[in-house]
Each structure stands twice: as structure tokens, then as C-alpha cells.
Amino acid sequence: MTAPLPGGTPLLELRGVSAGYGPYRALFDVSLEVAEASTVALLGPNGAGKTTVARLCSGLVRPTSGRVVFAGAEITGLPPWRIARAGVSHAPEGRSVFASLTVEENLALELASLGRRGMASALARAYDLFPQLSGRRRQLAGTLSGGEQRMLMLARVLAHPPRLLVVDELSLGLAPVVLEQVYATLHTVRDAGTSMLVIEQHASHALALADRVVVLDKGTVMYAGPTAELGDLRTRFLG
Amino acid sequence: MHDLISALLRGFPIGCVYGLVAVGVVLTYKTSGVFNLAFGAQAFVSAAVYFVLHVRDGWPIAPAFAVAVLVVAPVVGFVLDLALFRHLRSAPPIARHVVSIGLLVGIPAIVVLALHFGTSPAYGPRGIVPGGLVVYRFGEYAVSRDELTTIVVTFLAVGLLSALLRLTAAGLRMRAVVESPRMTELAGVNANRVGSLSWMLSGLFAGLAGVLLAPLFPQVSADNFFLLIVAAIAAAAFASLSSLPLALVGGLLLGLIGQLLATWLPTGSLLAQGLRPSFPFVALFVLLVFWPGLRRRRESTDPLAAVDPPPPQLAADVRSRELTLLTRALTVVAAGVGLWWVLAVANAFWLLLVTQAVILSIVFLSVTVITGMAGQISLAQAVFAAIGAFTTAQLANRFDVPLLVTVLAGAAIAAIVGALLALPAVRLGGIHLTLATLAFALFFENVLVKVDWIGGSAVPPRVARPVLGPIDFAGDRSFFFLSVAVLVVVGSLVMLVRAGTTGRFLRALGGSEVAAAAVGINPARARVTAFALSAAIAGLGGGLLAMQQGQANYQADFSVGAGLFWIVIVVTLGARTVEGAVQGGAALKLFPQALKAVGLSLTWQPVLFGLGALTFARHPEGIVEHGKRTSLAAVQRLLDRRTRT
Amino acid sequence: MSLLVARGVRKTFAGIVALDDVDLEVEPGELVGLIGPNGAGKTTLFNCLLGITRPDRGSVGFAGRDLARMPVYRRARLGIGRTFQRVELFSGMTVRDHLLVAERARRGDGALWKDVLGLGRLRRDEVDRSERTLELLGLADVADRPIESLSLGRGRLVEVGRALMTEPRLLMLDEPSSGLDRSETDALVATLHQVHRERDIAIVLVEHDVDMVRGFVSRLYVMDFGRVIASGATTDVLGDELVRRAYLGGAAP
């Protein structure tokens, strides 16, 4: 598919991966790469298999065939916690927070490996990113509104930026104002050197962030290349 | 005043004991998401090991305690997690409940086999401090050293545990894994390791509770631990399944109120005899139905559950037409051969056995309705059968009502009782409904059975065989035909209901309750209907069983333990189909003969079926249905290959 | 007379005011939108109207009847249909089964004795009615497929179809475009328009997708901090400066 970028080895590589859920196949022989310090937008209509790609990256779904390689090491079939420790952070779609834990506990769980001092500064960074959360540290996450829960989930993965960030359907259920704010944060994170795989259905925000685009349709890659060259495919696949 | 204080003093250690187990139940629930009905069985393991080492083999206290509580107990927890619960974290709650019921049936039987309790029962357990019976006196009040130990250890353990869960990173991880192991893994935490730790911790706790409890009874037996866990569950319900200190408080309250009732109620009255021993069950039922903390609680769902493949469909849904016809033909042939065998070959003993199997198949169809169709687990099915049996006996003996009428009346009364029980309980759903049925079943067993106009006096009431016009069913052969006829009628009825409105509504409710309500389906009504129908079927079967046996014998045929075992058998073999119920009836009656034939103890039956229920998580359609499906698929492949070549 | 009337609805959760004195009216056959930022109280209001949450104060009426304390399923039978933001489908059933269950529910509660007598089986006219709805929604080709094999967009149409089988006078849609791409959203809007034309059902739409709202509803309520901050004809409201600032931010047209 795409050759490695000159000079840079790919940070994440999917090689001929197929995957599915029980009898339903979601991906067929998909190959894609995310280069070191780059951002890839993964676009495509609903049901194209984008979320399955995200789950493959973080190990939530195991491929039925093909390989997943991260930072030169094979991670195919590893449990999600090993992949997370290797530096892949996955922000799943939907309201993925621990409803029965407080806001602060949600953050602390993710940051436990940083030690006491590291955690304190990471928490401060999280509340800086989303000041709305800082007044609700002791509130149960399940009592937050839908948008606030999305913020908390992002705060969790952004408080301690990983090597590769996989975000799935960020715009889902977010009001435009909040969405702007969240994408501004992602721009900062990208500029600080974190690689990203951004999955979106509404393409404009993701395209502004990414230097490469992969378009999925019906579980296969329809296009992969620089954002600038997307051209008329943009209208054909993204409406 | 003196009575009050001494009642409180007596109630306090018992309350601690309830509290200790309640804390264990809440701990397991909080850290693993499993409502571990087998917690009492785990406690029994340690108590039994401690008894064998300390009392039977004469080891000193310290090493016996170390092995029984510090080694065996956590290992049991570790093994349960590694072999079972780890694989059930993302399974639907019902799978976890079935597995814990399977363990509840299986573990004590394994202990009895392994430690030879069957041959030499364990009388005279001792506590974990030397001279446990030494009594300290404060004025006119007395406390034994064993009781003091129980109190101190309980408070210490609860304090340490609360601190661990609240204040430590390990505690936070445990709570996170309960809610969503997958999200916890995304945070870089090894959910499996956290789970193992939780289970070892709660296992340790069960072991500790076990050795502390054992000296309260004259004998180490699994039944005592089972009743204790019911009281403990009431205390856990009081704590809304979430607060460890409140669980302790709940246990203490139960112990104290129990003793106060003993002191104040006039001795000899039905209230005193009935209410005091059954107080924990009444408390559990009332708490389940009315305690606001539990009502607000919903079994939390994993936001990432969609990662799982959809649950397997019934074999009937994926069969091709030809294969369906083939299976039906085979069923007819098998039924024909069976009938021929019963009529031409079987002797009186086997005829009785097969008739019993047929009647139990009818009873098990009640499980098909409540578990297979409505997706709920009821532990009161044996009680509904008993109601059918007792109604038959009482109406026939006291009022001379014809027996076929009494059987139908028994079914009707069982249905009414079932509906009355379900009315407050169905909106709880899930494990809470299961527990409410268990509380009711225990209340029935401990109080109502002893009432003269229900369970009769000390001797089980006698029941004759029915007569219908010129046909007398007194003969074993004619009664066999009657049973088969009833089975066919009830089986078709269940199939009609499944294909009809009630079945559709129940399936919709199983798919999504909110969506079902949004199109105008009344969830409570559909579930109460299922419950009443199920109870009626069980009642009908119970009446037939009493006629076949010649008596309505509660202890032998309808006890709570029997009911537990029935559930385990049916869900193991297949709760979703009529065939599953029939196979369950056959297995329950014919399996012991097979064991006898190969010279094994009957204790192997609960072991094998208890462990069989563990397969429910992987094959919720039942192992027979699963086997059928795999073999059908193989046949299909063969046919395909044949047609291609 | 208005079809749906909410007056002075107030709801607090653990001291936080989720809804504060909210009024809302829907006329028969009207297309109404409800928008607002996250946490504005849209979902809470939705739940209060449907009977999932009980308001602390205020009243909800439908077709002249007071809905206070009426459970969800009875409101459904009065003629309030709905779809879910995160689709709620009956797993293990086919698309057609979904519609047939709803049809059966519309005909009144299932009596067990009918099932026992074999009267509970499928009837010809039920199948015909479901067939017409499948045609209307363009689902005829997947009618006998298990629901799990459908895309989210199709799944949402099944939800609409299921609601239509109950012959609602009011259809409440909870963020129907969430999870759908632009073309799927457009297709959904087109189908909803057709449904509205053919069956003259009032529709309340809770949405984030401003484009969808603009193209679909004639009247709009905007909520923020648990209050209705603006209401009126769609074009007027979307032009309102207050709304712009609260909701649209930089993304304003």
C-alpha cells in the first residue's frame, strides 16, 4: 500500500488485516500506516470499519488474519493493557468513562504509572485543558452530561500524551463550541509531537488536523495518501 | 432490661458473623461484579479443611489456620477466577449468576468427596483461639473467648478492607475493572491480574469467615453455610451492595433483631417458631422489594460491550429446512423406540423411573418458560411444584375433590402465588429477582411447610392416583401414559406461547426493555404472565409427581436444594427449548442409575452437573443444543460436499 | 388544540438544576426541533416528556390528557413514538420481527389465553401492514435479515418503522443523525419528510446537526443551562445572536 515516509519508519503499521465480530466481517485485508510524528485521518461512511481499525490498534479486537506492528514490534494479539503501556492511547467512541468512579478517580486510574508528583502535574494539565471538569472532581462521572463525559475521556488520554493517540468519532454528540475547543487541544497535542489516528465521519475538522488521509469503505481501503491530494474523492466518499 | 441486654449480647457475635459474610459478598460484588452465591460454599471449603487438619488430624491451631485460611482459601478464589469468572467479565449477568449457582451446588459435593465427609461426618468443630469456650463474665453477663475473637476479627477485617478499596491504587483498579475491564485495560492496567487479586482477597475473606463460623454449629455441613449466606445477602442488600461498613451494620442488625424476637415473642406460638428462624429470609425479601438503595441500582453495563460477538442463535434458527425435517423424523423415531421399550422391555422399577423422568420434564418446562423465554432465574420452582402437590393432597384428603380437578387447582394456586410473588419482584429483575425467589423458597421451607393445612403434619400427606370416567390411572403403565399425554400438552402449550404474543413480547424485552416499553409493551405485565405460567406448569408437574409417588413428600422431592439442582440441570442441558427440559428430566432420573452401574457415589451427580452449569457462559443455549448444532453443521458440510461432487 | 403541552417543567439531580421552568408546545402534524449545547437539558426534557424521568414540578399533557405519573408504555399506546440516540433494537430478531412486535403491541396487550389457544400466531393483515411500512422506509430488501447485520443507518430506520407501526400522532427522535454520515443523514431526512407527508405525524427532533435541523423543522426551541433561551420559526431562531453565541460559536454560518 503506502511506502514508509522517506527518513521515517512507520510508528504504527497494519499489514493485510482482516477482522470481524462473530459471523460479521468488518475489515478485509486492510493495510495502513501512521508515520512517526504525523497525523492520519481515517474517514469513510458509517459501517466502513473505522471503529474496528481503532479497536485493532489498541488490541480490543484481534485480527483474524494479518499483522499489527507498533514502533517496530509486533503487537498482533497482545492484550490491550500491554499495547497501552507500549504507548498507544485509544479514546473509544461513545461515553467511555467509568460511571461509578469520580472524575478525579477516572483521571488517576490512567495516570497511576506516573508516580505521585507526575500524577499531580498531569491532573493539573487535565483540568487546564477542560476547566469545566475541575469544579467536579468529586462528582461521579456517571452524573456528568454526555458532553462532559466526552471531555473527561479526552482529559484522561491527553493529560499524559501517548506516543500514538487513536481518537474515534470525537464529534459524536458534541456541540460545535465544544468541538472547536477539543480540536484546538488536539492541534496542540499534535504540535507537541504525538502521532495521531483520527477517525471521523464529518471530515472537515479531521482533515485540517491530518497530513495523510485513509478512506475506508465497506471494510476496504479506497484511498490512502496526502491530505492535499484527496481531490474529488472527497466529494465522492465524504459527501 | 436484663433480658434485653443479654439478648443484645447474644445477638452481637451472631450479627458479626452475618456481617462478616455480608462484607465478603459485597467485596466480591464490588471487585468482580459477581454476585457470588457460592461464597458460602467457599467458606465451607476452609471450614472443612480446618476441621480435618485441626480436629481430625490433630494439627496445632496455627498451622491448621495457615493452611485452611491463608493458603487454601485464596487458592480457591484464584482458581475460580482463572478457570471461570475471568472469562465471564463481559458475559451477560445471567451467565455469571448461573455459574455461581453451579458452584454452589458443585463445590460442597467436591469437598464431601475429597475429605470423606460422607463416611465420617464432621462433628464438633473448634474455633481459632485456644480455649475458645472460656467465658468472661461482666457482672451477670457472659461472653466466650470464641465470640470475642469473632467480634475483634470482624471489625479489624472490615476496617482494613474499606481502607484498601477507598484509599489505595489497587482498590481503585479493582473498582474500575468491575465496571469495564476493557476500558481499564485501555488505561494500561492488566485487568486479569487485578481480577485475580480481587478473587484471592475475597477468597481469603470467605475462608476467614468459614473458620470463624464453624464453631457456631454442632457439625461442619454445607447446609449451614448456605443458610448463613442468605442472612448475609440480606445484610448486603441493606448496604445496597456497595458499602462495606453498612454491610457490617446490616449483619449486626439482623443478629440483634433475631435475638430480640427470640426473647420477646411468646414461646410456642407459630410466630415464634416460624418467624424467628425465617427472619433473615423475610428481611431479605422485604429489603429486596422496598429498599430504595437497591431499586436505584442498575447492573452497570460495560460501554465497550459491543466488542463482543453477538450471542449464538438457537439451533432451530440456523438449521436448514431439510435438517429440521430430519431432526423431527429422528425425534419421532426416538419417541417410538422409547415407548416400545417402556411397554415391552422395562420392568416395574424402570417404568417408575421413566414416569418420574417424564413428570420432571413437565416441571422443567417451567424453567424453559421463566429462564429460556423470560431470561430470569427463579429458585422457587420447587416450591411451586410443592404447592401443586400439597394442593392436590389437601383438597383430595379434606374435601374429597376428584384428583384430576385437584391437580388443576394446584396449578392454578401455584400460578396465583407465582404472580403475587412476581408482582413486587419483577421490576427488580436480574439477580434481585433470583434472590427474592430464594428468600420466598426458604420462607416456605422453614415456615409454611410446617403449617398443618399446607404441608400437613409430621407425616407427608398421602395422595392417590386419579380416575377419569372409566379409565383408572392406578396402574403404573396407565399413569405413565397420562404423564406422557400431559407432557405433550404442556410442551405444545409452551411452543404456542413462544410463537404467540407473550413469547414475542418477552423476546423483545430481552433484546431491549426500554425499546419494548416505547412501543407500548408493559414489561411488568409480560414478566408476571411468564412467572405465573411457569409457576402453573411447575404446580401441575408437582401434583402429578405427588400422585406418582403416592405422597406429597417435601423433603424428598421439593426442597430448596432440589430446586437449585433443577435449575442447574436445565440450564446445563438447554433452557431455551422443549427438548432441553425433556433431556433434563431424563438426566435427573437416569444419571444416578448410570453412576450406580459404574460404582460411583451419588455425590458425583451434583459435582458433574454443578460443573456442567459452568458451560452455560459459553453455551447459553445448553450443551445438548450446542452439541446438536455442531453435529448438524458437520452433517450439513457433508451434504454440501456430497452435492458438489 | 396543541398535541403536546409541557408547562413549567423543573427537574434537579443531586442539587444540580437540569431543567428550570421549561415550557414547550407541539401542534398536531408540526415539525419541531430542540437544540442546545451539551448539558443544556435536552435529554432530560425528552425523558420527562416520555415518562422515563418524572419532573419535580410542572405538567406534561398529550392530546388533552394529563400524563403525570403515566408509565412509558401507556404513553406509547396514547400515540407517542420514539427512537433512541444509541439505537435500541431487539437482538436476535429480524427487521420484520421488530415491526410485527410493535404491531402486536398496538393491538392491545397480549392475553395469554389467546396464545394457548393458538390465536397468537402471525396474521395475514399484520404481515401486510408491516410490508407497507417496510416499503415506505425502503427496508423491504432486508426484511428477513437479523438485526445485527444491519448498518447503524438502517438500524435507525428500523427504529422509525417500529415506532410507526404503533400509529403514533407524535414521533420523538433523539439525535437521529448521530453516528450517520452526511449521505445517510440526507436519506434519513428525505424518508422522514415522506413519512410526515404520508401519515401527517408531528415530529420532535433533538439534534446537534444544525444542517439537519435547518432543513427539516419549521419551529425550533433552543435550550441552555436547563432553560429555553429562544423559540420560534427556525430561520429566525438560527439568526438570533444569543443562540449563535450559546450554541453555534465559531461554526455559525
**Do B419 and B539 share a domain, yes or no?**
yes
Cβ–Cβ below 8 Å for A173 and C38: yes
Can you tell me the ipTM of this complex?
0.91
- When pLDDT is cut at 50, 70 and 90, the band that residue B363 belongs to is very high
Q: For position B440, what pLDDT does the model report? A: 92
Mean pLDDT computed over A40-53: 84
Of the pLDDT bands very low, low, confident and very high (cuts 50, 70, 90), residue B490 is very high
User: Cβ of A138 under 8 Å from any chain C Cβ?
Assistant: no
Tell me the pLDDT band of B293, cut-offs 50, 70 and 90.
low
Whether the pLDDT of residue B241 is over 60: the answer is yes
Please name the amino acid found at residue B193: R
DSSP-derived letter for residue A90 is E
Mark C229-248 as b/e (b = at least 16 C-beta within 10 Å).
bbbeebeebbebeebeebbb
Question: Do residues A105 and A98 make contact, with C-beta atoms less than 8 angstroms apart?
Answer: yes
Does a structural domain hold residue B303? Answer: no
Asked if B130 reaches chain C (Cβ–Cβ under 8 Å), the answer is: no
* Amino acid letter, B528: V
CATH code, domain carrying A136: 3.40.50.300
Contacts of C10 (CB under 8 A, 6+ apart): C17, C19, C20, C21, C22, C55, C56, C57, C58
How far is it, in rounded angstroms, from Cα A209 to Cα B122? 73
Top mean-pLDDT range of A199-203, B198-202, C85-89: B198-202
Judge if B283 and B372 occupy the same domain. no
Q: A175 lies in a domain? A: yes
Rounded alpha-carbon distances, angstroms, from residue C177 to A10, C14, C191, C243: 35, 31, 13, 21
Q: Residue A36 and residue A199: Cα distance in Å, rounded?
A: 18
* A17 to A223, A236, B150: CA distances (angstroms): 16, 25, 59
Round to whole Å and give the CA distance between A175 and A130: 15
Average pLDDT over residues B488-494: 94
Q: What is the pLDDT of residue A24?
A: 61
Please list the helix, strand and coil fractions of chain C in percent, rounded to the nearest 5, in that order.
45, 25, 30
Q: What is the mean pLDDT of residues C196-212?
A: 87
The answer to whether residue C61 scores a pLDDT higher than 60 is yes
Domain boundary among B260, B294, B328: B294
Q: With bands split at pLDDT 50, 70 and 90, how would you rate the model's confidence at B426?
A: confident
Which residues of chain C neighbour B518 with C-beta distances below 8 Å? 50, 72-73, 76, 81-82, 84, 88, 163
Is any Cβ of chain C less than 8 angstroms from the Cβ of B570? no
Of C38, C208, C248, which is closest to A145 when you measure between CB atoms?
A: C38
pLDDT at A34: 93
Contact A101 B184 (CB under 8 A): no
Q: Specify the pLDDT at position B322.
A: 65
Cβ separation A94–C180 shorter than 8 A: no
Average pLDDT for residues B375-403, to the nearest whole number? 91
Round to whole Å and give the CA distance between B293 and B297.
Answer: 7
On the question of pLDDT at C81 being above 70, the answer is yes
- The pLDDT assigned to A88 comes to 93
Task: Write the DSSP symbol of residue A140.
Answer: B
The answer to whether residues B348 and B259 belong to one domain is no
Share of chain B above pLDDT 90, in %: 25
Radius of gyration of chain B (CA): 25
Three-state SS annotation for A112-132: HHHHHHHHHHHHHHHHHHCHH
Give the model confidence (pLDDT) of A55-80 as tens digits.
999 998 899 999 999 998 999 989 99
At residue A158, the pLDDT reads 83
Do B285 and B392 lie in one domain? The reply is: no
* Chain C contact set for B308 (CB, 8 A): none
A176:C151 CB<8 A? no
pLDDT in tens, A208-220: 899 999 998 878 8
C38 contact A CB<8A: yes
Name which residue leads in pLDDT, B220 or A163: A163
Residue B642 lies in a domain: no
Q: Are residues B479 and B611 in the same domain?
A: yes
| B280 and B358 co-located in one domain | no
| Domain presence at residue A5 | no
Question: Residue C115: its chain B contacts at CB < 8 A?
Answer: 496-497, 499-503
Torsion sign, CA atoms A49, A55, A61, A64: positive
Specify the number of domains making up chain B: 2
- Mean pLDDT of the B381-388 span: 95
Q: Which of C9, C19, C2 is nearest to C60 (CA)?
A: C9
Structural domain total, chain A: 1
Q: How far apart are CA B39 and CA B26, in angstroms?
A: 11
Does residue A4 fall inside a structural domain?
Answer: no
pLDDT digits (tens, 9 = 90+) for B509-552: 888 888 999 999 999 899 999 999 999 999 999 999 999 998 88
| Percentages (nearest 5) of helix, strand, coil residues in chain B | 75, 0, 20
Chains B, C: CB pairs < 8 Å: 122
Give the integer Cα–Cα distance in Å for C178 and A113. 35
Distance CA A130, CA A144 (A): 13
Which among B169, B179, B182 has CB closest to A112?
B169
Q: What is the pLDDT of residue B202?
A: 87
Burial zone of B457 (CB within 10 Å; 0-12 exposed, 13-18 middle, 19+ buried): exposed
Contact list in B for residue C97 (CB cut-off 8 A) is 504
Whole-number pLDDT of residue B635: 76
* Position C253 confidence tier, pLDDT thresholds 50, 70, 90: very low
A 10 A CB-CB count for C17 gives 15
Considering only CB atoms, C72 lies closest to which of B512, B518, B526, namely B518
Q: Is residue B237 part of a domain?
A: yes
User: In whole angstroms, what is the distance from residue B355 CA to residue A233 CA?
Assistant: 72
What CATH number does residue B283 fall under?
1.10.3470
**pLDDT of C142 strictly over 60:** yes
Give the residue from chain A lying closest to B30, CA to CA: A100
Query: Alpha-carbon distance B314 to C91, whole Å?
Result: 13
Check if the beta carbon of residue A61 is closer than 8 Å to that of residue A23: no
| B329 and B284 fall within a common domain | no
C121/B525 CB distance under 8 A: no
Does C97 have pLDDT greater than 50? yes
Would you say residue A1 lies in a domain?
no
| Of B76 and B182, more confident | B76
Query: A201 is in which domain, residue-wise?
Result: 12-238
CB distance from B310 to chain A under 8 Å?
yes
Subunits in contact with chain C (3 or more CB pairs closer than 8 Å): A, B
Answer whether C98's CB lies under 8 Å from C157's CB: no
Q: Is residue B258 part of a domain?
A: yes
Asked if residue B491 has pLDDT above 60, the reply is yes
Whether B502 and B598 map to the same domain: the answer is: yes
Q: Is residue B522 part of a domain?
A: yes
Chains touching chain A at 3 or more Cβ pairs under 8 angstroms?
B, C
Residues B58 and B104 in one domain: yes
Same domain, B333 and B281: no
Same-domain check for residues B273 and B224: yes
Could you give the CA distance from residue A225 to residue A238 in angstroms, rounded to a whole number?
Answer: 15
Identify the CA nearest to B429 among candidates B382, B488, B474, B370: B370
Cell numbers describing residue A34? 501512521
Q: Give yes or no for A234 touching C (CB within 8 A).
A: no
Q: Do A60 and B307 touch (CB under 8 A)?
A: yes
| C59: confidence class by pLDDT, cuts 50, 70, 90 | very high
Distance from the Cα of residue A33 to its chain's centroid: 14
Backbone angles phi, psi at B575, to 5 degrees: -90, -10
Let me know: does A166 contact A90? Beta carbons within 8 Å. Answer: yes
A233 lies in a domain?
A: yes
In a domain, B312, yes or no: no
Tell me the pLDDT band of A2, cut-offs 50, 70 and 90: very low
> Which residue(s) pair with A52 in the sheet?
none
Mean of the per-residue pLDDT values of chain B: 84
Calculate the CA dihedral of residues A215, A216, A220, A226 and round it to 10 degrees.
20
User: Strand (E) positions, C14-64?
Assistant: 16-26, 31-35, 57-62
Q: What is the mean pLDDT of residues B169-174?
A: 89
In which residue are the cell numbers 474515534 written?
A168
**pLDDT tens digits along A131-164:** 888 889 999 988 887 778 888 988 888 888 889 9
Structural domain span for residue B352: 318-635
* B104 within a domain of the structure (yes/no): yes
Structure-block grid coordinates of residue B414: 401455584
Question: Which triple of cell numbers denotes residue B460?
Answer: 407427608
Inside any domain, residue B136: yes
Cα angle B179, B180, B186 (rounded to 5 degrees) comes to: 140
| Secondary structure E strands in B154-214 | none
Cα–Cα distance between B532 and B423 in angstroms, integer?
10
Query: Is residue B569 classed as helix, strand or coil in its secondary structure?
Result: helix
Q: Is residue A54 part of a domain?
A: yes
Which pLDDT value is given to residue A239? 41
